[in-house]
Amino acid sequence: MDAPLLAVENLRTYFYSRAKRAFIRSVDGVSLGVMRGETLGIVGESGSGKSVTALSAAGLVTAGPGVISGRIDLQSNGSRRNLLDGLENYARVTEQDGRVMAVEKDERGWRRHSETLMAGVRGKEIAMIFQNPRSALNPYSTIGKQLVETIRLHTNFKGERQARERAIHWLERVRIDSPRLRFDNFPFGMSGGMCQRAMIAMALSAEPSLLIADEPTTGLDATIQSTIVDLLAQLKTETGITTLLISHDISVIQRLSDRIAVMYGGTVVETGRAAEVLAPEATARHPYTAALLASIPSAETIRRKSYLQAIEGEVLDTIEVPRGCRFYGRCNRVTEAIRGNCAGLEPPLGEVAPGHKVRCWLYPAAGKP
Amino acid sequence: MRRYVQTPGPIGQFSELSLRQRAGPLDLVYVAYGLLVVAVVVASYLLGAFGWLPHDPQAMDIGLINAAPFTSGHPLGTDFLGRDLQARLILGIQAYFLPGLLAITISVVGGSVLGILAGYRGGWFDTIITYFDNLLDSFPRLVLILLVIAAFKADIYYVMVVVGITGMPVIANLIAGKIAFLRQKSFIEAAHALGLPAHTVILKHILWLNCRALLVIQATLGMAEAILVETSLSYLGFGVQEPTPSWGNMVQAGANYFLQGNFWPSTAPALAILATILGFQLLGDGLNNLLEGKRRK
């Protein structure tokens, strides 16, 4: 098997929350691999650490005492480079009882080193699109100018006219009607969906090897959402771009992903092929995934006028990580037989079927790596 | 120059938007007048710089002292030594033009740098600028300038450096505020994610595209301030010295003859000061309403 294009290994990203006066372990030991050409969907509630995983991969975590550790390997031009190489020299984390007690960080050194690591990667190898596309574009510049700027920066289309033609080509590729006219539009003159298309064009125009789509449909109208999802699906078949897709919307994930990683409380609790993880008749399934699937409104629930099923309890506060399973407090499938384990010991990510891993004591056979 | 308009809606209900400044036709008049003043000032500066004056500004005509306007050969009259007022008014622009440009360059460049550091890095830069601002506010500017004159020498460029530095915190605060506002939008983060280098993001996307209107407005207002400081100092005798003309020392020189009925030699430069400063102020205000008011959402 090939090495994955992006391999995240034991990624930990901690932030300091001024309001809570404590460190938050947003991402706490995540390992993922994205194969060339595939779409990996990361799904989870708000606060599960999915966006932070993406921001860490793009080297955009610099704020204050934010600390990243682990490995992020990117395969580029036949060589493999660790995007976090040597960053650990700039920060020291002291932990006690699952709580981060102190972080010592050389801010400037960290930022400078991070910039050298990301040079030529961010924007060129890893491109990113965001939620709220309207605010992701500079309001005082036309979309054409912004597109030309990234094209001239990252590709060999350096000439003004060449870059302009290339920009129009990309506007066409993202199905913006009359791209020559739209070229001179300001973001406020366009709808949210149009802005997102322009944003996608900007991200793809650098011909990156990995596209990170962080909640690309959030903040758009429902009908626009589905057209953006369609566009992403079409671009995937046309360009074969490798995508790391992040969304809390399972239906979006389902439409676009080849494989899925379900995140909860800063860790991956289940991963596998999309069809397998989301299959209605799946036998082995993490209780959190089951709860997420049950909370999707369907024609059935609407017809029966039954309540939408919410997941009981609140998202794990990742300031203090429990010693046992992170989902234990909200889990409705704890049996007496495994209660001791659930409360006291974090389950490992075990394989229940080839390529399908679940982090749960319900599958003890799988629990043995 | 604020106008508050209520947006159409239920009576008695004011939305937040209803209190925003709107640009009106009057702003166009302000800007037109301001641009005219700027054009006249620049043209006069060039005339003075190249020496294309209607008269020799130093040539005295003892037979024609304190002549009224429209005297033959002297359309604006003469001063107490019979020197041509028109030529001296034109030459008086030399006294503040380049020094004023120096002052606004210092305040715009320095203010931008401080503003970016405060808005982008935040933390103690922000604190320093606030204290700097408070410090300057607690100290009359003219006293500070006189202190500098006492400590160094009565040179207009020294004075304008002080004017420039004391103008920095206002601009820094405005830019820091603008950046704080822009940071809520994610396009700065998006620009970083697209791989644009930090200096491109800061200089092009923040300063050039988002703050240029603000900087032009502040530069205009800064020029008005610089003219006012220069003329005040020259009036007091700390600025440009006779026989080199400055509007300030012309008012002062003419004032001695004011009560004798020869009001014109001091009134002419005073009117020039009034018209010019009014022009710069109105230009700044009009541009503010036209460029910033419209875009404020």
Structure ipTM: 0.77
**Residue of A115, A123, A141 with shortest CB distance to B194:** A123
- With a cut of 70, say whether residue A186 has pLDDT above it: yes
What order do you get walking across the sheet with A356-358 strand by strand?
A126-129, A210-214, A242-247, A39-43, A259-264, A267-273, A356-358, A350-353
Hey, is A180 helix, strand or coil? helix
**Exposed (0-12), middle (13-18) or buried (19+): which is A251, by Cβ within 10 Å?**
middle
- A124 at B interface, C-beta within 8 A: yes
- With a cut of 60, say whether residue A369 has pLDDT above it: no
Confidence of residue A17 (pLDDT cuts 50, 70, 90): confident
- With a cut of 90, say whether residue A115 has pLDDT above it: no
- A136 at B interface, C-beta within 8 A: yes
Query: What's the residue count for chain A?
Result: 369
- Give the pLDDT confidence score for residue B46 in this predicted structure: 93
| Three-state SS letters, chain B | CCCECCCCCCCCCCCHHHHCECCCHHHHHHHHHHHHHHHHHHHHHHHHHHCCCCCCCCCCCCCCCCCCCCECCECCCECCCCCEHHHHHHHHHHHHHHHHHHHHHHHHHHHHHHHHHHHHHCCHHHHHHHHHHHHHHCCCHHHHHHHHHHHCCCCHHHHHHHHHHHHHHHHHHHHHHHHHHHHHCCHHHHHHHCCCCHHHHHHHHHHHHHHHHHHHHHHHHHHHHHHHHHHHHHHHCCCCCCCCCCHHHHHHHHHCCHHHCCCHHHHHHHHHHHHHHHHHHHHHHHHHHHHHHHHCC
Confidence of residue A63 (pLDDT cuts 50, 70, 90): low
Bridge pairing between strands A210-214 and A126-129 = parallel
Residues of chain B with confidence (pLDDT) below 70: 1-23, 293-297
**Residue A55 to chain B, least CA–CA distance (Å):** 9
Of B37, B85, B41, residue with least CA distance to B59: B85
Bridge pairing between strands A22-34 and A6-17 = antiparallel
The mean pLDDT of A173-198, rounded to a whole number, is 90
Instruction: For residues A220 and A228, give the distance between their C-alpha atoms in angstroms, rounded to a whole number.
Output: 9
- A148 at B interface, C-beta within 8 A: no
Hey, is A135 helix, strand or coil? helix
The reply to whether residue A139 touches residue B194, judged by beta carbons under 8 angstroms, is: no
The pair phi, psi for residue A32, each rounded to 5°, is -145, 155
Contacts of B109 (CB under 8 A, 6+ apart): none
Chain A interface test: which of B183, B184, B194 (most A C-beta within 10 Å)? B194
Chain B interface test: which of A18, A55, A135, A138 (most B C-beta within 10 Å)? A138
**Residue B134 to chain A, least CA–CA distance (Å):** 27
| Tens digits of residue pLDDT in A258-294 | 999 999 988 999 999 998 888 887 778 888 988 888 8
Contacts of A172 (CB under 8 A, 6+ apart): A179
**Residue of A130, A141, A206 with shortest CB distance to B190:** A130
Instruction: For residues A150 and A137, give the distance between their C-alpha atoms in angstroms, rounded to a whole number.
Output: 12
Which chain A residue shows the shortest CA-CA distance from B186? Answer: A136
| Residues of B in Cβ contact (< 8 Å) with A62 | none
| Residues of A in Cβ contact (< 8 Å) with B193 | 58, 60, 122-123, 127-128, 130
- A153 at B interface, C-beta within 8 A: yes
Q: Which residues pair with A214 in a beta bridge?
A: A246
| Residues of A in Cβ contact (< 8 Å) with B210 | 138-140
The mean predicted confidence, pLDDT, of chain A is 86
**Residue of A128, A138, A153 with shortest CB distance to B209:** A138
- Give the pLDDT confidence score for residue A201 in this predicted structure: 93
Which chain A residue shows the shortest CA-CA distance from B201? Answer: A138
Of A128 and B294, the structure prediction assigns the larger pLDDT to: A128
- Give the pLDDT confidence score for residue A365 in this predicted structure: 58
**Residue A157 to chain B, least CA–CA distance (Å):** 16
**Residue A119 to chain B, least CA–CA distance (Å):** 8
- With a cut of 60, say whether residue A74 has pLDDT above it: yes
Which chain A residue shows the shortest CA-CA distance from B291? Answer: A140
Chain B interface test: which of A74, A125, A135 (most B C-beta within 10 Å)? A135
Tokens of A272: 């596998």
- With a cut of 80, say whether residue A235 has pLDDT above it: yes
- A127 at B interface, C-beta within 8 A: yes
**Residue A98 to chain B, least CA–CA distance (Å):** 30
Instruction: For residues B55 and B48, give the distance between their C-alpha atoms in angstroms, rounded to a whole number.
Output: 11
Tokens of A161: 């006219």
The reply to whether residue B193 touches residue A202, judged by beta carbons under 8 angstroms, is: no
Which chain A residue shows the shortest CA-CA distance from B210? Answer: A140
- Give the pLDDT confidence score for residue A230 in this predicted structure: 92
- 0.80 exceeded by pTM: no
Long-range contacts of B240-248 (CB under 8 A, 24+ apart): B240/B95, B240/B156, B241/B154, B243/B58, B244/B91, B244/B95, B245/B57, B245/B88, B245/B89, B245/B91, B245/B92, B245/B95, B246/B92, B246/B95, B246/B96, B247/B89, B247/B92, B247/B95, B247/B96, B247/B272, B247/B273, B248/B95, B248/B273
The mean pLDDT of A109-127, rounded to a whole number, is 87
Helices B85-116 & B264-287 angle (0-180, nearest 10): 30
Of B186 and A366, the structure prediction assigns the larger pLDDT to: B186
Confidence of residue A139 (pLDDT cuts 50, 70, 90): confident
Confidence of residue A66 (pLDDT cuts 50, 70, 90): confident
Contacts of A281 (CB under 8 A, 6+ apart): none
- Give the pLDDT confidence score for residue A364 in this predicted structure: 66
